[in-house]
């Protein structure tokens, strides 16, 4: 059994994916803008991830923009039959590399067609609508209008499943009244655990939870994490990922990298055996703040 198969699969709608996947965001240039410094290395990372058993790739056409999806197409098309590519819409890149909201119906429809074209597919497996607004009222209106657009594209056969990104529980609940939601992408890691209750609620409803910034925050500097990693002869990043895999059965990981060495390190996280004591110590990291 390959390491990525160890924790089984979870369904994105009717699409089974292995719980340790790959996030393609960092394949483009610095700041997720422009071409990669080493195009051949970027292609090699994608091919090795799939060869290692990864069948869930997270991307967006505004990464680059367009470049990351073009790399995925060049490296992997025609795609393996079990490969699930999840993309997101709701943002665009300014000429200076800034990330801007792109949430009008016209912009969302264009984004779907950009993803279709650059990935060279007839239907997108999963499209996440990303909330770009801090203001709850503005975000709620955007999500309602955006999901209405996506649901129409789904009826047209251009989108198979729909998810949400950077959203609150109330926004998810409202969104589910418009269409089925198969996954939620929010910030979550050892140090940032405000979604603990949400993860469990989504698990009860068989909805996937996909943490972004799974290695972010102060936690990787925590002495608790360092000590657990030392005992396991592992890196702190591997331990943090292994903890996430054990957090709940609906948690799907998409750690990203443009390095083959880092990719192999991330995938090896599935091989770690965390004891109950280690898990308890890691559970407490978020309350320590100073490590």
The residues annotated with a catalytic role in the active site are 63
Selection from 2, 1, 39, 4 nearest residue 270 by Cα = 4
SS3 label, residue 177? coil
Query: Which residue reads 């990935």 in tokens?
Result: 119
Which structure tokens are listed for 192? 């940032």
SS3 label, residue 82? coil
241-243-245 Cα angle (round to 5): 70
CA of 183: how far to CAs of 13, 133, 143, in Å?
A: 9, 19, 15
Residue 181 CA to residue 175 CA, distance in Å, equals 8
Selection from 77, 75, 71, 106 nearest residue 89 by Cα = 106
- Indicate the DSSP class of residue 256: B
SS3 label, residue 124? strand
């Amino acid at each position: 059994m390959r390491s990525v198969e160890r924790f089984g699969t979870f369904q994105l709608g009717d699409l089974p994916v292995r719980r340790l996947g790959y996030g393609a965001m960092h394949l483009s240039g610095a700041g997720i803008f422009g071409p990669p410094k080493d195009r051949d290395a970027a292609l090699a990372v994608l091919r090795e991830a799939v060869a290692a058993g990864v069948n869930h790739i997270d991307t967006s056409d505004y990464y680059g923009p367009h470049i990351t999806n073009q790399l995925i197409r060049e490296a992997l098309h025609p795609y393996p039959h079990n490969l699930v590519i999840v993309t997101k819409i709701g943002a665009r890149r300014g000429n200076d590399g800034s990330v801007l909201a792109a949430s009008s119906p016209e912009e969302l429809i264009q984004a779907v067609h950009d993803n279709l074209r650059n990935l060279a597919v007839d239907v997108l497996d999963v499209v996440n609508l990303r909330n770009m607004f801090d203001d709850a009222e503005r975000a709620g209106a955007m999500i309602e209008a955006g999901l209405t657009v996506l649901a129409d594209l789904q009826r047209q056969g251009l989108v198979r499943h729909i998810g949400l990104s950077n959203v609150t529980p109330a926004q998810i609940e409202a969104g589910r009244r418009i269409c089925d939601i198969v996954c939620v992408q929010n910030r979550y890691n050892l140090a940032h655990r405000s979604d603990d209750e949400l993860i469990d609620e989504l698990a009860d409803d068989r909805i996937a939870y996909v943490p972004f910034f799974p290695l972010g925050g102060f936690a990787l500097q925590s002495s608790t994490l360092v000590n657990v990693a030392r005992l396991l002869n592992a890196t702190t990043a591997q331990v943090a990922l292994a903890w996430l895999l054990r957090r709940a059965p609906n948690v799907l990981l998409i750690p990203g990298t443009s390095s083959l060495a880092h990719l192999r390190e991330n995938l090896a996280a599935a091989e770690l055996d965390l004891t109950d004591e280690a898990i308890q110590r890691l559970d407490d990291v978020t309350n320590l703040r100073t490590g």
